[in-house]
Structure formats: C-alpha cells, structure tokens
C-alpha cells in the first residue's frame, strides 16, 4: 500500500515538509486552551507592568514587520507592542522594498533573517503565506492576517474584549468558560480571516457562533468549519439570540466579480440604531475595522454606548505584546 514513510533519505525535501517554529502563531487552532489562557494572562501582566521594566523584556531583540497589504491597526499595534517590550523593529512593506522588484516571500524572509530578524510578523494577501515564510526561515512567524485564511491575534484580542465585557478573568479561560454565550458574526464571512479565526476559537470555549449574511458572502459549507457554528440568514433573528455581535465590512478588494445589491444588503444586514435597539439592546457590538460607516454599521452604533470598537484596538497592543514575548522565548515569555 502506498504510505508515507520517513523522509530521511531526501536531502532536498520540499519546503512544505519543513517544520514551523513552535512559537509561531499562524492559525488560531495552533493554540491549546491552556496556551490561550497563558497568552491572555501574560497580556494582562505586561499591560500592568511599569513601562521601564516592561522595556527589558525584549531589549534589543530584532523584530521585522513584513506587510504586503495596507494596515493601520494591526501594524501599529504590533509595532507599539514590540517597542514597548524594548525590541528594535523594522518595517518592510511591499511598496518600498525589493518585493516590488519581484523578490519572493522566501527570499525576503531569508534576507530579513540574515539581517538579524529573530521574529517576523507577516501580513500577506495570500492565504497560507505565513507557513511558507516559517518553513523558509525557521523563525517564529506571527500571522498578522493572511488572505482569507486567518488573523489569530485579532481573535485573541476579540476574546479579551469579550471576557472583559462578560466580567470573566483570563485565568478562568477553559473549555466551558463561554458556555451559554452566543456570538453573531455578520457580514462578508467568505472573505474574512477574522471570522474564520473567531469561529474556530470561540466554540472551543463553549460559545455558540452564529454566522450571518447572504449566500454569496456566506456559503453553506461555512457551517462545516468546526463544531459550535450555525448559519442564520435572518440578522434580526440572530441578534435576538446574541450577547455579542461582531460586524464585518464587505471586502470590496476580494469580491472577484461577485455582484451584490448593496441597497438590499444594508436593508437586511446593517447594524443601525433602530435594529440594535429593537433586537439586541444590551449586546456588545464589535468590529475588527476598518469600518465603512453607513454600510455594515451606522455611526450611532459604532460610536454608541454598546460599541467596543476602540476597546478592541486597545486590547490589540496587550495581546501582541504577549505573542511577541512568547515568540521570542524570553525567560518570562517562555511561560506563555
């Protein structure tokens, strides 16, 4: 029978057969519940620490930010997180580097490693890009969003936001910590790496995830992503069941010919004041950003008392500090 056997023989075995550094974070499913708990606890510890002391954690360690897509929140918060731990950071973006000249991701990664980078934070328009970078460099790679695949640090900061709203301590994170909690993720699920990461993480903690949106943006196969996920096409019905609502923007840049009646879309799926007041007056309203006001969410909701949008951004820095400390394996970070 054909079967995979040892690859010892192969001296040029394919890149994809090479290992990924274990302190990488590429998919949220890489983390056990225990690891999630330790990352959240470390985030809190680092956030509370005196800035002078905190800056010793990764003193003079070298962190490269490799961004092939534009980003405001993620890039800035990773950068601030690295700097507040004392690391030196360098930003390489596709428009101001040899990437423009056609340098491959593999070669860019090897170049950054030769320049002393000890950890690379990657944002890529291509799903799976971080695996390639991790396999090519052997360095810990933090996925800052890859194509339509995942955005695991976003899922962790979203979890931190939810736990605070629900008044749960991170130390309590365990298999049933979110039992009884329903989270609706609404909008362009198909193209959303944030949706995938959250939908894979939250049910691990006992939450029920409702994915909501029209068929072209939410195919039926999405329900097979993992356990604890259901599809609901009626937004109002989903809202009435939810303690937490996460809105997503329509990713115009990834629609690839998909046609959408925006008038019909906003009528059915927009989070506006009237709808939220009627169906989810107490729910926490989240959005990973960037928000398109007047499209998936209106200003009264985005800026209203139920909105956690700014809090999500703030939590991003703490979570990313913890991920960097974990990735670079300082003595303290090694605990995470």
Partner 1 sequence: MKPLLIRAGRLLDPANGVDKSADLLLREGKVAAIDAPGRIKAAGADLIDAKGLIVAPGLVDIHVHLREPGQGYKETIATGTRAAAAGGFTSVCAMPNTIPVNDSPETTRWMLAPERGAAISVYPISAATRGSMGETLIDYAAMKAAGAVAVTDDGKPILGDDIMLATLKAAAKVGLPVIQHAEDTRLTGGCSMNAGPVAFRLGLRGMSVEAESGLVERDIRLLAKVKGAHLHVAHLSTKKALDAVRQARRSGLHVTCEVAPHHFVLNEERIGNYDTHAKMNPPLRAEADREAMIEGILDGTVDAIATDHAPHAAHEKEQEFERAPNGIPGLETALGLTLSILHVRHKMPLDRMISLLSSRPASVLNLKDRGTLSIGAAADVVLFDPSESWTFHATDSLSKSKNTPFDGWSMQGRVKQTICGGRIVFSR
Residues of this chain that interact with partner 1 (CB under 8 A) are 1-7, 9-17, 20, 104-106, 124, 126-129, 131-132, 136, 146-150, 190, 193, 196, 219, 221-222, 224-225, 256-257
Beta bridge partners of 284: 244
In the block, residue with structure tokens 């029978």: 1
In the complex, least distance from residue 142 CB atom to partner 1, rounded to whole angstroms: 16
Closer residue to partner 1 (CB): 88 or 103? 103
**End-to-end CA gap in the chain:** 42
Closer residue to partner 1 (CB): 256 or 262? 256
Annotated binding-site residue? 137: no
- Is residue 125 within 8 A of residue 3, CB to CB? The reply is no
- Is residue 170 within 8 A of residue 40, CB to CB? The reply is yes
Closer residue to partner 1 (CB): 26 or 301? 26
Buried b (16+ CB within 10 A) or exposed e, 120-144: bbbbbeeebbbbbbbbbbebbbbbb
Annotated binding-site residue? 289: yes
- The Cα–Cα gap between 203 and 182 comes to 10
Closer residue to partner 1 (CB): 27 or 242? 27
Annotated binding-site residue? 73: yes
Annotated binding-site residue? 74: yes
Annotated binding-site residue? 306: no
In the complex, least distance from residue 2 CB atom to partner 1, rounded to whole angstroms: 5
- The Cα–Cα gap between 115 and 111 comes to 6
Closer residue to partner 1 (CB): 140 or 333? 140
Closer residue to partner 1 (CB): 8 or 282? 8
- Is residue 134 within 8 A of residue 20, CB to CB? The reply is yes
Buried b (16+ CB within 10 A) or exposed e, 235-267: beebbebbbbbbbbbbbeeeeeeeeeeeeebbe
- The Cα–Cα gap between 39 and 170 comes to 9
Annotated binding-site residue? 333: no
In the complex, least distance from residue 128 CB atom to partner 1, rounded to whole angstroms: 3
- Which residue from 270, 282, 200 is spatially nearest to 241, judged by alpha carbons? 282
In the complex, least distance from residue 36 CB atom to partner 1, rounded to whole angstroms: 19
In the complex, least distance from residue 316 CB atom to partner 1, rounded to whole angstroms: 21
- The Cα–Cα gap between 243 and 193 comes to 22
In the complex, least distance from residue 72 CB atom to partner 1, rounded to whole angstroms: 22
- The Cα–Cα gap between 316 and 80 comes to 10
Annotated binding-site residue? 151: yes
Binding residues for L-aspartate: 101, 193, 249
Binding site per annotation, positions for carbamoyl phosphate: 73-74, 123, 151, 154, 289-290
């Amino acid at each position: 029978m054909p079967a995979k056997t040892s690859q010892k023989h192969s001296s040029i075995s394919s890149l994809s057969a090479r290992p990924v550094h274990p302190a990488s974070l590429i998919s949220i499913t890489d983390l056990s519940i225990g690891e999630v708990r330790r990352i959240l606890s470390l985030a809190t510890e680092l956030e509370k620490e005196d800035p002078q002391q905190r800056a010793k954690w990764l003193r003079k360690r070298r962190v490269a930010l490799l961004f092939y897509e534009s980003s405001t929140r993620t890039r800035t918060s990773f950068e601030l997180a690295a700097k507040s731990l004392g690391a030196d950071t360098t930003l390489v973006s596709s428009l101001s580097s040899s990437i423009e000249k056609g340098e491959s991701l593999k070669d860019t990664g090897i170049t950054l490693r030769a320049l002393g980078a000890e950890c690379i934070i990657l944002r890529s328009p291509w799903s799976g890009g971080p695996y390639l970078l991790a396999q090519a460099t052997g360095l810990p790679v933090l996925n800052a969003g890859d194509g339509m695949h995942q955005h695991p640090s976003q899922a962790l900061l979203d979890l931190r936001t939810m736990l605070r709203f629900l008044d749960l301590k991170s130390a309590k994170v365990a298999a049933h910590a979110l039992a009884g909690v329903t989270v609706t993720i609404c909008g362009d699920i198909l193209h959303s790496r944030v949706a995938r990461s959250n939908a894979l993480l939250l049910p691990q903690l006992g939450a029920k995830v409702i994915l909501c949106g029209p068929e072209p943006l939410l195919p039926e196969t999405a329900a097979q992503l993992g356990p604890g996920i259901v599809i609901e096409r009626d937004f109002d019905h989903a809202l009435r069941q939810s303690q937490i609502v996460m809105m997503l923007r329509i990713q115009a840049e990834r629609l690839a010919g998909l046609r959408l009646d925006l008038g019909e879309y906003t009528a059915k799926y927009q989070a506006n004041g009237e709808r939220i007041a009627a169906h989810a007056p107490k729910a926490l309203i989240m959005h990973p950003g960037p928000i398109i006001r007047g499209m998936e969410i209106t200003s009264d909701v985005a800026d209203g008392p139920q909105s956690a949008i700014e809090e999500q951004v703030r939590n991003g820095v703490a979570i990313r500090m913890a991920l960097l400390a974990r990735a670079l394996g300082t003595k303290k970070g090694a605990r995470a």
